[in-house]
Structure 1
């Protein structure tokens, strides 16, 4: 795998600059999220990725989960890329059209709830921030935190978390980010991001 640098400039070189499909012809319900990267406050240190914690809400299958900004595609959204930009603006008050640049689209992820597909596909888009911007969380979120990519990519945050599926105890893969458990859909998307970084290592 090699010793890779994970500062934002190196990450951008590694995964940016390629043609990106902004939409999808899928007939399933669609959603999109934004994996947002920013440089570390210390020069040369690992870039950071934004994670958010969803509010506890009755009826929400992802209530309280660690996630990325995003949500369902609306009829007015001209593309899934537009969905990611709109949802990010609504959820955290960040205008990616003004403050970010699109680097890559990761593989789509089928949405799962309680171990079952829910008939929706999620498109993750990776953005790099080129200017600082304050975050303003809406009522759907209760927390936002920036975590360095390096420890994720080096496997330092790997773990498992117990999960009961149809009465059967399981151990699911997760990332342990401070006191938070990142599992499920968000864990898979972050894993795709790490794979993209390593796949493009030259």
Structure 2
């Protein structure tokens, strides 16, 4: 079984009855670096009291709002608000990844998160808003290398879990963000259906 098919069997592409849940979407944005490689954009969330994911590495995105025409439109809007990057003008949509089920930040209500992949063709300048502490571009080759994978000890009420993660400089990519990253890397390793291609 290929890595792509293994991921697709691990969780459904679209969660049934997802429209009955709270929904959010994120944008996985890659660009071509000066040396011809591919880099993926991450944001580090601003540190806020009471936010369980305060300071975590993530992809830009957020909850769907009534004015959003679609989940993809919400990812584009949130990216513009959080980073100043206009995906509608300078992004090229590539593919929709699998839905993930999580919970709302402030309560135990389930929430469905849908990731969308874009190629960035705009300016290198980024303008983070108050929700973002910083923006980091990470080489895909680094993210895919086995020696850069690790484990993060995460304490819960039921005990301590060892969560898979990837450390980059002083940042740690884990949780839902790591799961989305692994699906993207699995697709990128499939030359026939890779959303990350030379253009």
Deviates more, 1:131-140 or 1:64-73: 131-140
Q: CA deviation at 1:113?
A: 7.3
SS in 1 for 2:147: coil
Deviations 1:151-190 (A, max 9, x none): 2123232000111121512211001111111111111110
Q: Distance in 2 between matches of 1:66 and 1:131?
A: 22
Deviations 1:109-133 (A, max 9, x none): 112479x964101111000012324
SS in 2 for 1:32: strand
> What TM-score results when the alignment is normalised by the length of structure 1?
0.81
Deviations 1:46-68 (A, max 9, x none): 20000110011122221111001
> What TM-score results when the alignment is normalised by the length of structure 2?
0.82
Deviates more, 1:147-156 or 1:123-132: 147-156
Query: Between Structure 1 and Structure 2, how many residues are aligned?
Result: 178
What RMSD, in angstroms, separates the aligned Cα atoms of the two structures? 2.3
Please state if 1:41 is matched with 2:34.
yes
Q: Distance in 2 between matches of 1:190 and 1:125?
A: 11
2:20 aligns with one of 27, 49, 54: 27
Distance verdict in 2 for CA 1:117–1:194, change over 3 Å: farther
Deviations 1:7-62 (A, max 9, x none): xxxxxxxxxxxxxx9xx9521110010000010111x3x20000110011122221
Deviates more, 1:73-82 or 1:159-168: 159-168
Distance verdict in 2 for CA 1:153–1:201, change over 3 Å: farther
